[in-house]
Structure 1
Amino acid sequence: MLKKNIFKKISILSLVVVATIACQQESIDDITSVDPGTDESAPVVEITSPSDGMSFQTTAETTMLDIAFEVIDDIEVVEISVSLNGEEIEYYNEFTDYRIVPKEIAYELGDGDYTLTVQATDIVGNITTDTVSFSKSTVDYLPQFDEEAFYMNFNGNYTEFISNTEITVVGQPGYAGEAKVGSNAYAGNTDSYLTAPVDGLTSENFSATFWYKVNAVPDRAGILVAGPEDTENPDAQILRTSGFRLFREASGSLQVIKLNVGTGDAESWNDGGTVDPAAGEWAHIAFTISATETKIYINGALVNTATLATPMSWSGTEFFSIMSGAPRFAGWGHLSDSSYIDDLRFFTKELTEDDIMNVMEYTEE
Structure 2
Amino acid sequence: MIGLLATSFACEDGYIDEIQPKPAGVDEMPPEVTINFPEEGPLTWVPDEVMSINIDFEVMDDIEIQDIIVTLDGEGIGSYADFKDYRNAFIQLPYDNLTNGDHTLTVTANDLSGKTTTSTVEFEKPENYVPLYEGEIFYMPFDDQYLELVSVSEASIVGNPGFAGESASGANAYAGATDSYLTFPTTNLTNDAFSASLWYKVDADPNRAGILVIGPPDEANPDAQNNRTAGFRLFREAAGSNQRIKLNVGNGGGENWFDGGAAADINPSSGEWVHIAITISGTECAVYLNGEPVSQGTYPGISWEGCDIMSIGSGAPRFSGWGHLSDNSYIDELRIFNKALTQTEVQTILDNEQP
TM-score using structure 2 length? 0.64
Looking at structure 1, the residues matched to 49 and 225 of structure 2 have their Cα atoms a distance apart, in angstroms, of 40
Q: State the 1:141 CA deviation.
A: 1.4
**1-structure distance, mates of 2:133, 2:46:** 20
Residues 9-44 of structure 1 deviation map (CA, whole Å, 9 limit, x = unaligned): xxxxxxxxxxxxxxxxxxxxxxxxxxxxxxxxxxxx
User: Is the 1:269–1:306 contact (alpha carbons within 8 Å) kept by the matching residues of 2?
Assistant: no
* 1:359 and 2:349 correspond: yes
Q: Does 1:300 align with 2:291?
A: yes
Residue number among 183, 196, 199 corresponding to 2:171 in the alignment? 183
**1:192 is aligned to 2:180:** yes
- Is the partner of 2:322 in helix, strand or coil? coil
Q: Any residues of structure 2 matched to 1:263-278 within 5 Å, and which?
A: 263-272=251-260, 273-278=264-269
1:345 match: secondary structure: strand
1:155 maps to which residue? 143
Q: Is the 8 A contact 1:180 1:211 kept in 2?
A: yes
SS across alignment from 2:332: strand
CA apart distance, 1:156: 0.3
What is the alpha-carbon distance in structure 1 between the residues aligned to residue 189 and residue 341 of structure 2?
Answer: 14
1:338 matched to 2:340: no
> 1:271, 1:304 within 8 Å by CA — same for their partners in 2?
yes
Q: Separation in 2 of the partners of 1:242 and 1:305? A: 18
Partner residue of 1:313? Answer: 303
Query: Counterpart of 2:316?
Result: 326
Structure 1 runs (4+) greater than 3 angstroms displaced:
137-140
Aligned counterparts of 1:349 and 1:138: Cα–Cα separation in 2:
25
In 2, Cα distance between the equivalents of 1:354 and 1:241? 30
Which secondary structure does the structure 2 equivalent of 1:329 belong to? coil
2:242 counterpart (249, 254, 263):
254
Letter in 2 for 1:342: D
Q: Find the partner of 1:217 among 192, 198, 205.
A: 205
Q: Give 1:26-45 correspondences, 5 Å limit.
A: none
Partner Cα separation in structure 1 for residue 214 and residue 49 of structure 2: 31
Residue 290 of structure 2 aligns with an amino acid whose one-letter code is N
- Give 1:159's aligned amino acid: L
1:254-306 Cα offsets, whole Å, 9 max, x none, are 10000000011110001131111010000000010111121000000111113
1:128 aligns with none
Secondary structure of the residue aligned to 2:269 is helix
Deviation at 1:58, TM superposition (A): 4.6
Match of 2:282 among 274, 286, 291: 291
Secondary structure, counterpart of 1:209 in structure 2? strand
- Please tell me whether the aligned partners of residues 60 and 138 of structure 1 are also in contact (alpha carbons under 8 angstroms): no
CA distance in 1, matches of 2:188, 2:171: 29
2:46–2:129 contact (8 Å) kept in structure 1: no
Asked if 1 retains the 8 angstrom alpha-carbon contact of 2:316 and 2:324, the reply is yes
CA distance in 2 between counterparts of 1:306 and 1:340 reads 28
Q: Which residue of 2 aligns with 1:168?
A: 156
1:142 maps to which of 120, 127, 130: 130
Assess, with a 3 A threshold, how the Cα gap between structure 1 residues 322 and 139 changes in structure 2: closer, same or farther: farther
Q: Distance in 2 between matches of 1:338 and 1:147?
A: 30
Distance 1:58 1:154 in 2: 12
What are the residue-to-residue correspondences of 1:37-76 with 2, within 5 Å?
58-61=46-49
Instruction: Render the CA deviation track for 1:129-185: whole Å, top value 9, x for unaligned.
Output: xxxxxxxx9974110000001000000010000011111111100000000111210
Q: Is the 8 A contact 1:61 1:138 kept in 2?
A: no
**2:219 match: secondary structure:** coil
Residue of structure 2 equivalent to 1:82: none
1: CA distance, partners of 2:180 / 2:218: 21
- Find the aligned partners of 1:139 and 1:187 in 2 and give their Cα distance: 28
Q: 3-state SS of the aligned residue for 1:261?
A: strand
Residue 75 of structure 1 corresponds to none
Report the structure number with the largest CA radius of gyration.
1
Q: Which structure 2 residue ranges, 5 or more long, are not aligned?
A: 1-44, 51-95, 98-124
Match of 1:68 in 2: none
1:332: Cα distance to partner? 0.5
Displacement after TM superposition at 1:362 (Å): 1.2
* In structure 2, C-alpha distance between the alignment counterparts of 1:323 and 1:228, rounded to whole Å: 17
CA apart distance, 1:61? 4.3
TM-score, scaled relative to structure 1: 0.63
SS of 2:216's equivalent in the other structure is coil
The answer as to 2:184 corresponding to 1:232 is: no
* Alignment root-mean-square deviation, CA: 2.1
Shift of 1:197: 1.2
Percent identity between matched residues is 54
Alpha-carbon contact 2:242-2:265 (below 8 Å) kept: yes
Alignment partners' CA distance in 1, 2:351 and 2:212: 22
Q: How many residues align?
A: 238
In structure 2, the partner of 1:348 is 338
- Inter-partner Cα distance in structure 2 for 1:167 and 1:139: 20
Amino acid at match of 1:299: N
Tell me the secondary structure at the aligned position of residue 313 of structure 1: coil
